[in-house]
Amino acid sequence: MTKDQTEEPKLVEHTVRTTLGPVAVSETGEGPVLVMLHGGGPGASAVANYHQNLPALAPRFRVLLPDQPGFGGSYRPTEADLDARSITEITVDALLQTLDTLGIDRFHLLGNSLGGAAAIATALEVPERVEKLVLMAPGGGWLPFGPTPTEGQKAMFRYYNGEGPTPKKMRDFIGVMTAEPKRWADTAQARYEASLDESHIAFYHAYNAAFAKRHGMDPLWQRVHRIKAPTLLLWGRDDRTITLDGAQLMLKQIRDVRLHVFGGCGHWVQLERRAEFERLVTDFLGEA
């Protein structure tokens, strides 16, 4: 491994004003633009989701890490906002306004879980702008055979219920998200601390209520056959949140698609299978 892949790259932070509210964006690196959308668990943010991958990706790409509405340093959609439009629709609107403000036209797009749903919706909304698409156990495009909500979705819903956030509840949540939870004690503590933000808690209650009213995420699976960008699907075999069985529809319906499954891996492939994830993403995006 080269020196520039082991050093923590310096992040430049922006606050982009959109018509919806401010969106926090961190960026690093040089090269083709890679937008990375994080998942939606309590305490999530873009840097928290992907910081460990930046030493490998920043030497090859200009990596943009936006906090999605409701998370990190970005604005918090209200219950009324979430009644009017889904979180996916809100995120796509905020993301495209952010990229327009930053003068970014074409880009690679990567999304995990909730961010995967936004990545699918963005690729459908502006197909001429998305060069390649990486989807990591994406919500919305996934059509499971088993019951929903899944074990992982239930863990997210109950995190803020009852007595509210506790270190044990976060450790339990990490235990459902990953195949080897004891490896991620530091991640659990950092996510717990981030989950205590009162505005994030208020957003999460509104988000959970909206999820229940809509009976789940946007049914993007109905439109995945319209995706034009070459697509890489990454999935943990032991994912208990967005389960592997739901990958089959996307694998069949997306025109230019490939699937890589990681054994002994849960919902967070970018963390649990870090080196393989980085190699697969870099190779895929670098292909002519």
Pairing of strands 33-37, 62-66: parallel
* Close Cβ partners of 174 (under 8 Å, ≥ 6 residues apart): 181, 184, 187, 188, 191
Give the position of tokens 């880009």: 107
From CA 132, how far away is CA 146, in angstroms rounded? 30
Q: Which residues pair with 111 in a beta bridge?
A: 37, 135
| Amino acid making up residue 276 | E
From CA 147, how far away is CA 133, in angstroms rounded? 28
Whether the CB-CB separation of 45 and 66 falls below 8 Å is answered with no
Residue 238 gets which letter from DSSP? T
Find, among 102, 109, 113, 11, the residue nearest to 55 by Cα. 11
Q: Is 51 a catalytic residue?
A: no
Active-site entry in 38, 51, 200, 267: 267
From CA 241, how far away is CA 66, in angstroms rounded? 23
Give the position of tokens 């197909």: 127
Q: How many other C-beta atoms are found inside a 10 Å radius of the C-beta of residue 175?
A: 17
Residue 68 gets which letter from DSSP? P
Residue 246 gets which letter from DSSP? G
Residues serving a catalytic function are: 267
